[in-house]
Structures are given as structure tokens and as C-alpha cells.
Amino acid sequence: MAVIIGLTGGIGSGKTTLVNYMESLGIPVFIADEEAKKAMQSPQVLDNVKANFGNAIFENGHLNRQQLASIVFSNPDKLKELNSIIHPEVKRQFAIWLDQHKTVPFVVYEAAILFESGSYQNCDYIITVTAPLEDRITRVMQRDNCSREQVLQRINVQWTDEERALKSNYVIDNTSTQSAKHEIDKILKILKN
């Protein structure tokens, strides 16, 4: 069975850069956020979202993601509620995906909310990616075309780097992409032995 490496970090920490690097090394990567987006297209999940959040977040039968985001990122209880709808489906998809990759030495489970969702319990090792707060804010504002306040709102509902680090096997400072990739190489070498 493949060793499951959990890769996490706050929004804008640079997880995607490291995921892309690990994929370039031939390591299969499961990206929980992408699976969550797919889950949000499932009629069953959408019915649950409608039952819990009401018709107001739907326009012409389609989910208004921005409206849902503004609700959940301003109310931790609503975020937990949404996660309780989506995460069982993501977990189910991961089990199917993992079965398809059981012969490789390593797989990566990438999730911004690895700890908050409880998914860390399925991982053999956990790597947390950190970056300076201002770098993270700038990256997300540019990537998502959103305001500083919106980014801080998302950051504030996630665990802190310190909280993640306490439960992680490895912590990578992603101030420099090159040194972060070098850290990945060192960790993989340790895990291979």
C-alpha cells in the first residue's frame, strides 16, 4: 500500500507549487479542494446544501458560489455545516483514488483544511507549508482577484501555521521556491529509507 503524505498549509502558502513539483517527480497527488468542487456539482450534495442554506444562494437553479463563500467564511458554524456535507463525498472519492494508486510508493493528499476536516487521520506523514502572511495575502489577492479583507476572512477560519506545525511531521518554509523544493527532496529521501 502506498504511503500517504498529507500536504497542507494556509491559503496562499504555496502548496500548489510544491504539489506540481511532486507530480513532476512522478508522485500521484489527490487535491481535496478540486474534489470538493466536483462534489458541489453532485445533485445529492446540492440538495443537502439547499436544505441547509436555503434557496437564496441559488440563482436560476445554479449555486452562487460567491454568496455561499461569503456566508461560510464569515460564520465558522456555517463553514462546519458545509464541510460536513462535502467531506464525506471527498473521503469516498479519495478511497476510490487510493485504490487505483496502491502500487506506487507514495501518494500525496493535498488539502488546505487537512486538520479541520479530520483527513489528517488517513495520512502516514504530514507536511505543512508556511509562508509569511503578507506574501500569502498578496498571492491570493492576485490569484483570486479578491480584496485583502476577503483573504484575511479565509485565513481567519483556517488553523494557524503554529497549530498545523504541532501536528505535522515536517514544516517547509516556502519563502523561496527553490529551497522549498530542496526540502521536499530531503523529506522524500528520508521517507524512502
- 15 annotated as belonging to a binding site for a ligand: yes
How far is residue 104 CA from its own chain's centroid?
22
- 14 annotated as belonging to a binding site for a ligand: yes
CA 184/CA 53 separation, integer angstroms: 40
* Cα dihedral 175, 181, 183, 187 sign: positive
- 16 annotated as belonging to a binding site for a ligand: yes
- 103 annotated as belonging to a binding site for a ligand: no
Q: Where are the beta strands (DSSP E) in the chain?
A: 3-9, 29-31, 58-59, 62-63, 106-110, 125-130, 170-173
- 160 annotated as belonging to a binding site for a ligand: no
Q: Who contacts 136 (Cβ-Cβ below 8 Å, separation ≥6)?
A: 10, 11, 12, 13, 151, 155
- 61 annotated as belonging to a binding site for a ligand: no
Which residue, chain included where needed, has cell 483514488?
A: 97
Q: Which residues are annotated as a binding site?
A: 12-17
Q: Which residues are annotated as a binding site for ATP?
A: 12-17
